[in-house]
Amino acid sequence: MTNDDINQSQYINKYLRFEDSLDGEEEVLPSFLGGEIIEACKIIYEFSSRIPHVYPFPEGAVKNHIGLRNYQYSLITCVSEMMSPILLDSDISGSAFHLNVSLEITSILDVIKHWILNAVYADDRLFQLLNNFDLNAYRLMTLDQRCEVHQELNHLSQQIRQRLMAEGHREKVHSFKRNATENYKQVLKMAESKWQRFGKVLLIRLDWGYKKPFPDRRGVFLSSQDFEQRFKIVCAYRDKKLKALRKKYRKDLAFYVWKIECAPIKGLHIHWLIGLNGTKHQDRINVPKAIAQMWDAAVGNPDTYTWNLNAQQKNEDAILRVIDYSDPLLWLIVGGYAEYLTKVDYVVHLRAPERMHGFGSSKVPKVVKRKTGPKRSKPEQVVDPWAVRRPLRELNVAKASKGNQ
């Protein structure tokens, strides 16, 4: 049996299942539009809606970027599936498709459909490349063929983005940026009130996540339901850690900030920024170490870990330390970490379960008039949230060892 016979047999089976699903003259979603193409559309939406736009095949080498490879494979999957005569003949933009999938998915499929009809079928050269096109066919292409396919799929990605933005998703994406800015201002305002109260604060950075298994599938999710379930588990772990932290330090806990993120390789993980009363807690390495050990015991999962970033900054210029209210670097440090912890994570924004969030922090206390008393001996540093909002490159082991040489 040839490949054409196999493809024709698959199409016949799809037609049969499609006809069985019809009830009178009512048009419904074809039953063969399975989870694979729906999940692929979700990944396409996640990447094509980013600011700035991310092309699936950017120029130059991309080092081990699993997320971008998923974007490439998802676009190839959708193009391959949409080459089916049934889907090309279906009214994807009609209301019937909206019964089982979102408007975003139907928009993406509709753009791909019209791109195939208007570009692929109108160009014999392109049709020869994409006929019977799938991931295996892509891998067998020559370098010149791949370059041509990359150019066309990048153009398709741009068309998908333009369609999504024209349908109101621009406002949705920009709302992520506005939300990140509001979170950033909240962290700065909250931190300012805590330094005014405590004078000295021990700044702590901890990361929590899953240990690297073999094979490493921490960043691979089988479906949106799989992501939601694992996200809920991480949220439950976060609650346990927060409860243990509050119980241990009570009034000495100046503030906390947590951010759940999903990285292409290490999957779901949590960044923590913690402030403790710097007058009582001054050991910048062993205090965070004790918190990490306490959290690992509270979570009780041997496949997870808590990484003490304070211990990685071993040189004299460590920025994770007890910081005085008059320190000229105070808001440059806090502003950098606040920017780092409030940046937009599109995966969590678009895939987190309803009413669940990827960011949280201590509440900003109400403004209370300070009691009369002796003034502080040193001037307080003025907070300019926009002047200190910048990317912060945390010191790592390599920098620490270089500084000690």
> 358 with 261: CB under 8 angstroms?
yes
CA distance 117 to 126: 11
Q: Where would I find the beta strands (DSSP E) of 266-331? A: 267-277, 304-308, 322-324
CA distance 188 to 334: 7
> 288 with 304: CB under 8 angstroms?
no
> 281 with 202: CB under 8 angstroms?
yes
pLDDT in tens, 377-394: 677 777 888 888 877 665
Which of 93 and 400 is assigned the larger pLDDT?
93
> 299 with 353: CB under 8 angstroms?
no
What does the pLDDT average to over 203-212? Answer: 96
On whether the pTM is more than 0.85, the answer is no
Give the model's pLDDT for residue 200: 95
DSSP 8-state symbol, 318:
-
Asked if pLDDT for residue 345 goes beyond 80, the answer is yes
Give the model's pLDDT for residue 63: 54
Residue labelled with tokens 């041997």: 302
Give the model's pLDDT for residue 41: 87
CA distance 170 to 148: 29
Q: 236: how many CB neighbours lie within 10 A of its CB? A: 10
- List, in order, residues 6 or more apart from 339 with CB less than 8 Å away: 184, 389, 390, 391, 392
CA distance 175 to 64: 30
Q: Which range has the worst mean pLDDT, 88-97, 130-139, 220-229, 246-255?
A: 88-97
Q: 396: how many CB neighbours lie within 10 A of its CB? A: 12
The pair of three-digit structure tokens given for residue 308, joined into one six-digit string: 């003490």
Which of 153 and 169 is assigned the larger pLDDT?
153
Residue labelled with tokens 């063969």: 32
Which of 32 and 308 is assigned the larger pLDDT?
308
Asked if pLDDT for residue 182 goes beyond 70, the answer is yes
> 186 with 178: CB under 8 angstroms?
no
Burial class (CB in 10 A: 0-12, 13-18, 19+), 189: middle
Which of 53 and 367 is assigned the larger pLDDT?
53
Q: How many residues does the chain have?
A: 405
CA distance 184 to 10: 52
Asked if pLDDT for residue 111 goes beyond 60, the answer is yes
Burial class (CB in 10 A: 0-12, 13-18, 19+), 307: middle
